[in-house]
Each structure stands twice: as structure tokens, then as C-alpha cells.
A and B are shown apart, each in its own frame.
Chain A
Amino acid sequence: MTVLIGQLFTGVSIGAVLLLIALGLALTFGQMGVINMAHGEFIMAGAYTTYVLQQVITAAGWSLLIALPIAFVVAGAMGVLLEMLLIRRLYARPLDTLLVTWGVSLILQQLARDIFGSPNVQTRAPELLTGNIALPGGITVANNRLFILALAGGAVVALTLALRVTPLGRRIRAVVQNRDLAAVSGIPTARVDRMTFFIGSGLAGIAGVALTLLGPIGPTMGTNLIIDAFLVVVVGGIGQLKGTVIVAFALGVLQATGEYLTTLSVAKVMVFIAIVAFLQWRPQGLFTLRTRSLA
């Protein structure tokens, strides 16, 4: 029983990381249909922002807290820049967007290598987040994992609220559901796209801050994350957040279980097979947004 719950928590914490890195994609890919392979590098930018801030502000707890909004803005600004310079021209060619943004990600990686050096760098975790909490029943959970879980939860709630109640969120939903009708109703769709991209990329920055708690930061960290993140959004279905949330945790638990029963590599392959099998059942993902726009 203890093992079971322990594994469940491992799965949930893997899921929380997946959720954090996929949430921004759920917005840019899921809502706008833009395949941004440089999303992983926006995560990297968030992580390096934390690293830089820690060089300036030595108190690890404070630098982490300050890093959250700053990373959001840094990654978001990079996203807007990318949208304005390139993606805007390519909305009609989603597959080409994929390749172009891959090129951007190569450039950003090399930029990181030139600025921060090829070897990985490490940040210090604040003391509060280094220990474990012992729960009744002999289960221990790591503080940093709990923090990430809380952060992921907070991000989901904030994003959901932003989409549901703010005027901007209403406009985003309108554009997703029917772009032409939204444009006819006077919504500046191009500006809404840009804001959506800002938020989605900014969330990648937040994910980057969280990832500094789990491991070293390196120029290629984005490449390893991006595929998992895309798979979460593909399986979750586009146009809605709840699919992403459910699938992130489901894949996390699946992977933790697989890892427990076999090895890490076999578990990864199992997850891939499970995804292909799942898409047989629901090729459009778990939830799809049914709209009357025929796109």
C-alpha cells in the first residue's frame, strides 16, 4: 500500500512537470494551432533567467520568487518576437512552422551555449524546498516536488480564470472558436494572437523556473522536454485545457508505474505505444472543441 501510494505520488509529480511544460503549448498549439518547436528553448530561457537572478540575488528563496514573474516576461517577450517576425507569416502552413521554429530553437540553443557555456549550470534550491515531508503511513514526499505540484496547480487555475472571466480570455476563446466571426465582431484577431502567444510562451518560462529545482540547466534541455510536452497536448486534445491536465497526470502515473515495473527506457517505449493505441480510439485527442468553424 505504501509502495502504491509512493508510486502514485511519483507519478503525480512527473505529471505536474509534464503539465507545467505542456500548459503553454496547450495555449499556442492547442488554441492557435501553431507548432512552436522553440517552446523548449523558452523553458530554457526561464531556467537561465533563474540562474542569472541567483547570481545577483544570493538568497535562493527570494531569487526563485522574483524569477517567476521575470521569467514569464522574458519567455513571453521572446514568444511575441517570434510570433511577429516569423510565425505570423506562416499561419497557413503549420508543418512549415514546425521546421522554421526548429531552426529558431537551434539558434537559441547555440546562443545559450555562447553566453553561458556548453556545460550545464546548477542553481541552489532554497532551503525550504530541499527537505522531505513525512506523511502518516511512512510516505515521504520531497518539498520541491510539492512546490512544483502547487505551481502547476496554480498555473492551471490562473490560466483557466484568465480564459473564463477576463475580457482578453473571452476574446481568445472567441478567436479559437470562430476566427472569422470574431474578426467581424470587431475583435483584433492579430493582437489577440500575439497576446495568446505571449501568455503561452510566458508559461514556458515559469516551467523553466520550476525545472531548476529538479536538475541542472543546459543549452539542450529544451529538446528533451518538447516532445513529451507535445504528446501531452496531442493526446489531451486541442482547444481545451482539461484534456491537457488529465493527460499530463495520466502519462505521469503511467510512466511511474512502468518505471517501477520495468526500467526507465522500457517505460518510455510503453508510454509511446499507449499513446499510439489511444489515438486509435480517439484520433482527435481526449477532448475536442466542437466549433462551427470548419477549420
Chain B
Amino acid sequence: MTTVARDPVAAADPSPTPPTRPAAGPSRHRYRAAVGFAFGAALLFAVAPLLLSDFRLSLLAKYLCVAMVAVGIGLAWGRGGMLTLGQGVFFGLGGYAMAMHLKLADAGPGNMPDFMMLYGQLDELPLWWRPFASPWFALPATMLLPMAVAFVLGSLVFRRRVRGAYFAILSQALAAAMVILLIGQQGTTGGTNGLTDIQGFFGYDLDDPVNQRMVYFIIAGTLLALLALARHLMQSRYGELLVAVRDSEERVRFLGYDPATVKLVAYVVAAGMAGLAGALFVPAVGIISPALIGIVPSIEFVIGVAIGGRATLLGPVLGAVAVAWARTALSERFPGTWTYLQGLLFVVVVAFLPGGLASLIGLARRRDDGEPRPSRFARFRPRRREGAA
């Protein structure tokens, strides 16, 4: 099942011509990208704050956090072929690290967070909470903790060539295990409620709309930075190697590269992005809970990416924001309808439009960027079936 790449049919398949790398003119690309980023920055920093009310702006901040996770998924899944159904774990690790710090800061030095007193099982702060009192530990931890978990799991799994569906199921099981652990340790993690009612953000009162606006600007800036990083990775030699691993892992191995390391980098970077997103989600929304990071939200991160166009740079971001917006707009008034629509989106987009909406608009058609065109990976991984059918 997972050893498809050895399929001799793949060798005979004429389609995977390697994307031609532009021989000249990186300056033109840089120019175009710079214009794109300037446009995005203007949109996020000037147009949105001017047009949207405070409430809508804080919603947009939340959507942009989801979009950060989507950038990582686009890298790992769209470019690397690793369908990770457990990004909620990394989102949650980042979110909880941040929330723990903010809870401790809210409580003041020497005090315990309110919920611990409420459950009343503890006399003092648990040992593993203590380092989070320091921002110098908590802030790096929001990224390093998820990256460390991804590194351990990824290096174990990829080195043993567990891939494809097996990897997807394992990553999903990780999300399940994480949620069960969080709920089970109610006294120290807040259980099902999670960490709620976060008041301050490094000395700024989060109830103040001005400070909410500041949080929005931080999030928008971070998203742009992550997009720049993702673009850099995708355009580099590494990015091509990643696509090559996705399309034919065995061939890359025969060429002398180690596919496990290539995949590991993308997976760890995606985990770091999700962790950062979780960390910024907390001040934007004021809560982190198991319901936000379990199996269901983890797979919902993926649908935005699929809709936008999994292998493109901007597709995942736009798709994630669009799905999150549609959810808010629809689920308030017609909760049932939204679930049907979401299910239909999964079915229709993934089955009949694997390149996402980007393949319709033509965002991904820019061949000279080395972007793989959707039609090519729409039928990636030829399997034993096609001969018979």
C-alpha cells in the first residue's frame, strides 16, 4: 500500500516531467513577489483595519491564525505529500504554552491560576508549569515545543518509511491522544474547559479594543513573515527536492538523497508554524481548549488548504480564511446547513477539483515559477488500479 513508489508503472508514466527551473531572471520573480507582499501588507494593515469594525477585525485575526496553520499544511501536504491530520496538536502545544504563561502573568507572581484553585486539588503550582512563568521560556516554547514533538515523531516515522495513509492515521491518532491527555489531567490543564478567560497580554489589557487591534497587527505581520519563509523554502533547491519526494520517493532515494530528512524538515517547519499560530490565537480569542485542537479541528485545518489549492503559496491562506469566514457566517444561523456544506466541500473539492480553486483561477498556472500545475499531481501516485480500469 505504502510502497507505491516502487510501482513500475510509475517509471513508464510520462507525466512527471520535472518542473523546469527558470534559468534566468530571479530578479523578475523577486520583483513580482515584492509587489505581491506589498499588496498583501496594504490589504492587511491598511484596508482591513479601516473597513472592518473592531469585532470583525478580531474575527479576522482568528482566521489569520488558522491561515498560518494552513501555510504549514500547504508546505507539508501540498508540496511534501504528507497528509498531516494532527496539526491541531502543534497548534495546541503553542496555544497552551502561551496560555499558561498568560494565565500565570494574570495571576501575578507566586499565585496560582484561578482554575487550579477552583478544582482545588493542588496546593502549589505543578513543577512543569513553573518555567512558563518566564516569557523567555514560554515564548520560544510556543514554537520549539511543537517542533520538538514533530521532530521526534517525524524522525521515528519517516526513517522507517511509514508514509501515505499510515502516516495520516498516525498523525490523527496523535491528535486523539493529546486531547484525551489534556481532558484527563483536568487539575493541571483545565480539562474540557481548557485555559479560559485570559485577561492580559504582556501587560496590555486584552479587553481594550486598541490592544486587540495591536494583537491583530502582530498576527498579520507574522502571517506575512511565514508566507515569505514558505515562499523562500518552496523556491529553493530544497523546495524542488520536497516536490520530488512527494512525486517519487524511491527515485529521490536512488539519486542519493535521504527522503526522510527532506520530509522531516517540512513537517517540523509546519509544526512550528502551527505552534506560532496557536500562540497568537490565544490573545486574539482569549481561550485555548481541547475542542479547538482535537481530531475534528485538525482535519478542518486541511479542508481550507484543499479548497484554496494545496500546492500553491497563497491558496491555503485564502482557502483557510474563506472557510473560517463561511463557518462563522453560516453556522450561527444554520448550524446543520454548515455541516452539510462542509461535508460537501470535502467531497466535491477533493474528489473533483484536487488542485483547489487556484486551479480554476489560474493562480497556479505560472509555470515559470516552477509551480507544479494542478493537473499534474491530480493523478499523482499511479497505483495498481489504473491498469485494470
Contact = CB atoms under 8 A, between A and B. Distances in A.
A223 B296 contact: yes
A99 B160 contact: no
Interface in A1-42: 29, 33, 35
Nearest to A219: B339
A269 B180 CA distance: 8
Interface residues of A, number: 52
B349 to A, nearest CB: 9
A190 B388 CA distance: 9
Contacts of B117: none
Contacts of A92: 379, 381-383, 385-386
B184 A103 contact: no
Interface string B309-329: 000000000000000000000
A263 B380 CA distance: 44
Contacts of A266: 181, 184
A294 B8 contact: yes
A90 B295 CA distance: 23
B162 A227 contact: no
Contacts of B6: 294
B299 interface: yes
A275 B173 contact: yes
A58 interface: no
Contacts of A107: 339-340, 343-344, 347
A105 B387 CA distance: 30
Contacts of B174: 272
B319 to A, nearest CB: 13
A267 to B, nearest CB: 9
B34 to A, nearest CB: 35
Contacts of B262: none
Contacts of B336: 110, 113-114
Interface residues of B, number: 60
Interface in B216-269: none
Given A268-B177, A295-B7, A91 B165 contact: no
Contact of B156 (A102, A230, A280): A280
A86 B184 contact: no
B160 A280 contact: yes
Contacts of B2: 284
Interface string A258-295: 00000111101100100110011001100000000111
Interface string A33-58: 10100000000000000000000000
B299 A35 contact: no
Which secondary structure characterizes the binding site on chain B? helix
A266 B184 CA distance: 8
A268 B181 contact: yes
Contacts of B384: 179-180, 293-295
B222 to A, nearest CB: 28
A94 B165 contact: yes
B173 A227 contact: yes
B181 A265 contact: yes
Given A99-B302, A265-B184, A276-B156, A93 B347 contact: no
B160 A283 contact: yes
Count chain B CB atoms within 10 A of each CB in A179, A189, A265 and give the residue with the most. A265
Nearest to B379: A92
A95 B346 contact: no
A265 B180 contact: yes
Interface centre among A102, A275, A276 (most CB of B within 10 A): A102
A223 to B, nearest CB: 6
* Residue of A113, A266, A268 with most chain B CB atoms under a 10 A cut-off: A268
B354 interface: yes
Interface in A138-186: 179-180, 183
B148 interface: no
20 contacts: A35-B168, A35-B169, A92-B386, A94-B165, A96-B350, A99-B306, A100-B350, A102-B346, A103-B346, A107-B344, A110-B340, A265-B185, A268-B177, A269-B177, A276-B153, A279-B156, A279-B162, A279-B166, A283-B166, A295-B4
Interface of A: 29, 33, 35, 86, 89-96, 98-100, 102-107, 109-110, 113-114, 179-180, 183, 189-190, 223, 227, 230-231, 234, 238, 263-266, 268-269, 272, 275-276, 279-280, 283-284, 293-295
Interface of B: 1-4, 6-8, 81, 83, 153, 156-157, 160-162, 164-166, 168-170, 172-174, 176-177, 180-181, 183-185, 295-296, 299, 302-303, 306, 336, 339-340, 342-347, 350-351, 354, 379-389
Across the A-B interface, give the 5 residue pairs with the lowest CB-CB distance, nearest first. A265-B184, A103-B346, A106-B343, A295-B384, A107-B343
